[in-house]
């Protein structure tokens, strides 16, 4: 089970015999010694394990550049910039004159990806930050913030509807392999639980993302935030997806079932994003939703016909803090 085995075995004993899936995903992606984003990832796109909309087509970059240009705000913060290709295309799309008026910031958790970004952005005026609060402090709370395919990279809690009601998915190492078990748990704040599902349904909640929003929201005073990711609103998100949406990617192959547990830290793990939750959690923080649509509608006429179908599986939500100008 790769280098992660002894760590996960010790963690399981410490936690009383099993590891909640969310914690497993956090370690598999971000553990400093073996996590995928901390140690394994080389890039995003053709030279990495998976591609994103941003690495396949420039229309998203052009649309974000138009959004930035329309607003009278100097500081733009991108969170989770991957290969840096989106940032690079956005800055190119802005053109020389507009670029002079923009201060571009990147918040990137992955050291290997920060290096890839710095190489690509040589000669561009970009500032890297370790965390969003430190970026927001530098811009005195006023910035446009955006991310593409960031939320899906946050660890998610997984629940299954059993005879006893919703139970949380845990993993347990036994006989050198990882097996899944269900345990009772208090339910998180999510739009999911007010809907009826058939027994056996699995769902995911990106609760760690909502905790992350709560952590930095007090530092954000003005601007707007654009969040793009794959997923849907409720109840469409789980339509005909009884097994949920957790999956892995390695070498551009999609991994499901037991395959996602074979080599923790050696593949990406992800799950579709519930945009009804993003809207709800924003409201709780006192934010307003300005627009919310599928990505093809957000991009509009600039979208290459080849990506029309793919981008309708993505959504874009634009929120701003109530105190915004």
Ligand X SMILES: C[S@@+](CC[C@H](N)C(=O)[O-])C[C@H]1O[C@@H](n2cnc3c(N)ncnc32)[C@H](O)[C@@H]1O
Binding interface with ligand X (CB under 6 A) = 37, 44, 52, 54-55, 79-82, 86, 107-110, 113, 148-150, 153
Burial of 311 (0-12, 13-18, 19+ CB in 10 A): buried
| Smallest separation, CB 101 to ligand X (Å) | 23
Residue 289 class from Cβ within 10 Å (0-12 exposed, 13-18 middle, 19+ buried)? middle
* Closer Cβ to ligand X, 22 or 149, answer by number: 149
Please state the closest distance from residue 148 (CB atom) to ligand X, in A.
4
Please say which residue, 46 or 74, places its beta carbon nearer to ligand X. Answer: 46
Name, in order, each residue with C-beta under 8 angstroms of 213's C-beta and a sequence gap of 6 or more: 281, 282, 285
Looking at the Cβ atoms of 161 and 217, the one nearer to ligand X is 217
Q: Find the shortest distance in angstroms from Cβ 265 to ligand X.
A: 14
Contacts of 96 (CB under 8 A, 6+ apart): none
Least distance between ligand X and beta carbon 1 (Å): 23
Closest to ligand X by CB, 82 or 248: 82
- For residue 123, CA distances in Å to 68, 118, 126, 152 come to 21, 9, 9, 31
Q: Are 171 and 19 in contact (CB under 8 A)?
A: yes
Q: Which of 39, 44, 17 shows the shortest CA–CA distance to 27?
A: 39
Complex with ligand X: residue 166 or 230, whichever CB lies closer: 230
How many H-runs (helices) and E-runs (strands) does the chain carry?
A: 11, 16
Phi then psi dihedrals of residue 181, to 5 deg: -135, 160
Q: DSSP 3-state helix, strand, coil percentages of the chain (rounded to 5)?
A: 40, 25, 35
How many CB atoms lie under 10 A from the CB of residue 136?
A: 25
Closest approach of Cβ 241 to ligand X, in Å? Answer: 20
Nearest residue to ligand X, by Cβ distance, number only: 80
Closer CB to ligand X, 173 or 228, in the complex:
228
What is the sign of the dihedral through the CA atoms of 209, 214, 220 and 226? positive
d(CA 260, CA 138): 39
Q: Which is nearer to ligand X, 109 or 310 (CB)?
A: 109
CB of 199 to ligand X, least distance (A): 32
| Shortest Å distance, C-beta 45 to ligand X | 7
């Amino acid at each position: 089970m790769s280098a992660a085995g002894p760590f996960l075995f010790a963690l399981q004993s410490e936690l009383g015999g099993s590891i909640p899936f969310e914690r497993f995903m956090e370690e598999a992606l971000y553990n400093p010694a073996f996590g995928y984003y901390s140690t394994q990832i080389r890039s995003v796109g053709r030279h990495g394990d998976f591609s994103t909309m941003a690495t396949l087509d420039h229309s998203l970059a052009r649309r974000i550049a138009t959004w930035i240009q329309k607003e009278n705000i100097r500081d733009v913060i991108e969170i989770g910039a991957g290969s840096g290709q989106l940032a690079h295309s956005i800055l190119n799309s802005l053109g020389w004159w507009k670029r002079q008026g923009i201060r571009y910031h990147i918040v990137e958790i992955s050291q290997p990806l920060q290096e890839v970004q710095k190489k690509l952005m040589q000669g561009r005026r970009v500032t890297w930050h370790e965390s969003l609060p430190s970026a927001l402090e530098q811009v005195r709370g006023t910035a446009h913030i955006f991310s593409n395919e960031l939320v899906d990279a946050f660890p998610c809690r997984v629940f299954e509807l059993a005879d006893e009601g919703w139970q949380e998915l845990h993993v347990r190492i036994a006989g050198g392999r990882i097996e899944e078990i269900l345990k009772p748990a208090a339910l998180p704040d999510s739009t999911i639980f007010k809907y009826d599902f058939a027994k056996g349904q699995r769902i995911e909640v990106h609760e760690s993302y909502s905790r992350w929003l709560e952590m930095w929201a007090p530092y954000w005073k003005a601007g707007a935030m654009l969040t793009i990711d794959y997923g849907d609103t409720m109840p469409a998100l789980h339509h005909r997806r009884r097994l949920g949406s957790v999956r892995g990617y390695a070498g551009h192959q999609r991994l499901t079932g037991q395959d996602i547990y074979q080599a923790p830290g050696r593949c990406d793990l992800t799950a579709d994003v519930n945009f009804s939750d993003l809207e709800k959690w924003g409201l709780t923080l006192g934010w307003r939703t300005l627009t919310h649509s599928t990505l093809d509608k957000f991009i509009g006429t600039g979208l290459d016909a080849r990506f029309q179908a793919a981008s309708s599986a993505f959504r874009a939500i634009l929120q701003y803090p109530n105190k915004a100008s």
